[in-house]
Amino acid sequence: MAQPLSRPPTNSEQSPPTPYYGWRIAWVLALTQTVGYGVLYYGFGVFIKPMEAEFGWSRTQTSGAFSLALLVAGLAAIPVGHWIDRQGARGLMTLGSGLAALTLLGWSQIHSLLGLYLVALGLGLAMAAVLYEVAFTVVAVWFRKEHHRAMLIVTLTAGLASTIFIPLTTWLVNALAWRGALEMLALILALSTIPLHALVLRHRPQDLGLEPDGVDILDSPQPSEPSISAQHAYRMPAFWWLVVAVALARMAASAIGVHLVALLLERGYVPGLVAAAAGSIGLMQLAGRSFFTPLTSRLSLHTLATLTFGLHALALLVLLTLPGMAGVWIFAAFFGISNGAITLARATLLAETFGSLNYGRLNGTIALVTAFTSAAAPILAGIIHQTSGGYTAVLALLTLTTALSALAVSRVRHSLR
């Protein structure tokens, strides 16, 4: 008996749609940003005391190297942005990851202060090529309506960088000494970032026959947004209030990132507890980023940003005035939450106030100004520590600067009226 002919399957019955390639890129960036920040940024502070003990360098000299790295990263932001616009991030981030690994290996072999500062040059170039400024540009190219969700994936995961790598780096230093720890970190970074950047990243979705968000733009019209030229933005007080707010907030974050471990050790806390407290900031950054986006539906973006920057100042006031480990843990919670949320607040305020038309150029301007404050902060903190004999004056200054940053971000909305 002849079998009845079966009807051909419809499109909906054939196979589920292929997930949008941009999400693969977002998750790759989430991983590589975690490793990049953990090794290149948060790990530096763990090596301060071992290097000072071996070479007799001052806190100003060691923190000055990190300041140089941040300055180089900021100065490289504009040419890096031009490269991405023309060529995409694939080659840049792959080469940057290779440079980072080689620089860490070079760091493990230094025997002079000049060697450390040459290492700082390499670290700065590597940071410019592989960290947030580049990653955020990639996300902006691949996503429009889903931009916030993709940003959350990257920043939530990367918020664990300090939680993972401060304790890990501390353990490696104790187990392998500081030179061996650097060699191991170079291996970890190379294996976890170079292949992913080379094999997964692509310039733009159109290269794969796709559109941003994985849908046809004609079928999914984008929400209206401001369309402000860079020249117009540069003439707006609101833009410069945002620049000041971010620059002052990142000044504090940079100083704390370099000096927190040394500060807590000087207070007499055991290294394991210090590593746990410093590492917990990353978990709190995760919480801050998790709560920020949902809260934008309950509070205006400008109000939420002001509260976020204000919490940053409150965290430093707690570390300055509240004694004992209770104060340290409260500081870690407040500082982590605010520091994590500030990353999203900055990007969202810039996009929603000035639009995406010139986002890269405006963001590069903020990055350039922030580079100077971030670079100055660790060395200034080192000088104040050396001249005053402790960190009290440093914390007082950082409390003041973060309070001013909260005031500045509150002026963004008022200056738009």
Q: Which residue has the higher pLDDT, 240 or 350?
A: 240
Q: How confident is the model at residue 324 (pLDDT cuts 50, 70, 90)?
A: confident
Determine the pLDDT at residue 15. 57
Determine the pLDDT at residue 417. 63
Residue 307 has pLDDT above 90, yes or no: yes
Percent of the chain with pLDDT over 90: 49
Q: Which residue has the higher pLDDT, 228 or 388?
A: 388
Question: Which range has the worst mean pLDDT, 314-318, 360-364, 381-385, 396-400?
Answer: 360-364
Determine the pLDDT at residue 241. 95
Cα(45)–Cα(132) distance, integer angstroms: 20
Contact partners, residue 72, CB within 8 Å, separation at least 6: 120, 121, 123, 124, 125, 127, 128
DSSP string, 317-370: HHHHH--HHHHHHHHHHHHHHHHHHHHHHHHHHHHHHH-STTHHHHHHHHHHHH
Backbone angles phi, psi at 89, to 5 degrees: -95, -10
Average pLDDT score over residue span 90-114: 97
Residue 57 has pLDDT above 70, yes or no: yes
**Count of positions (residues) in the chain:** 417
The answer to whether the pTM exceeds 0.75 is yes
Residue 6 has pLDDT above 70, yes or no: no
Cα(111)–Cα(113) distance, integer angstroms: 7
Contact partners, residue 77, CB within 8 Å, separation at least 6: 128, 133, 364, 367, 368, 371
Determine the pLDDT at residue 221. 53
Cα(305)–Cα(405) distance, integer angstroms: 11
Residue 328 has pLDDT above 80, yes or no: yes
Average pLDDT score over residue span 306-329: 93
Question: If DSSP codes are grouped into helix, strand and coil, which group holds residue 261?
Answer: helix
Residue 327 has pLDDT above 80, yes or no: yes
Q: How confident is the model at residue 136 (pLDDT cuts 50, 70, 90)?
A: confident
Residue 411 has which token pair? 């002026």
Average pLDDT score over residue span 9-17: 55
Q: How confident is the model at residue 305 (pLDDT cuts 50, 70, 90)?
A: very high
pLDDT digits (tens, 9 = 90+) for 72-89: 998 888 788 778 877 889
Question: If DSSP codes are grouped into helix, strand and coil, which group holds residue 222?
Answer: coil
Q: How confident is the model at residue 117 (pLDDT cuts 50, 70, 90)?
A: very high
Determine the pLDDT at residue 192. 97
Quote the mean pLDDT of the chain.
Answer: 87
Determine the pLDDT at residue 48. 92
Give the residue from 339, 381, 373, 378 showing the smallest Cα distance to 74: 373
Cα(100)–Cα(113) distance, integer angstroms: 19
Determine the pLDDT at residue 24. 96
Give the highest mean pLDDT range of 25-34, 53-62, 152-161.
25-34
Question: Which range has the worst mean pLDDT, 78-92, 267-281, 348-362?
Answer: 348-362
Contact partners, residue 20, CB within 8 Å, separation at least 6: 210, 213, 214
With contact defined as beta carbons under 8 Å apart, do 328 and 269 qualify? yes
Eight-state DSSP code of residue 38:
I
Cα(417)–Cα(414) distance, integer angstroms: 6
Residue 326 has pLDDT above 60, yes or no: yes
Residue 16 has pLDDT above 70, yes or no: no
Determine the pLDDT at residue 193. 98
CA atoms within 13 A on the CB side of 359: 23
Cα(76)–Cα(61) distance, integer angstroms: 23
CA-derived radius of gyration, the chain: 22
Average pLDDT score over residue span 191-218: 86
Residue 13 has pLDDT above 90, yes or no: no
Average pLDDT score over residue span 189-196: 98
| Domain architecture of the chain: domains with CATH | 20-214 (1.20.1250.20), 226-417 (1.20.1250.20)
Contact partners, residue 347, CB within 8 Å, separation at least 6: 136, 151, 363
Residue 263 has which token pair? 């500060």
Q: Which residue has the higher pLDDT, 99 or 283?
A: 99
Residue 289 has pLDDT above 90, yes or no: no
Question: Which range has the worst mean pLDDT, 44-48, 181-185, 211-215, 232-236?
Answer: 211-215
Q: How confident is the model at residue 9 (pLDDT cuts 50, 70, 90)?
A: low
Residue 29 has pLDDT above 90, yes or no: yes
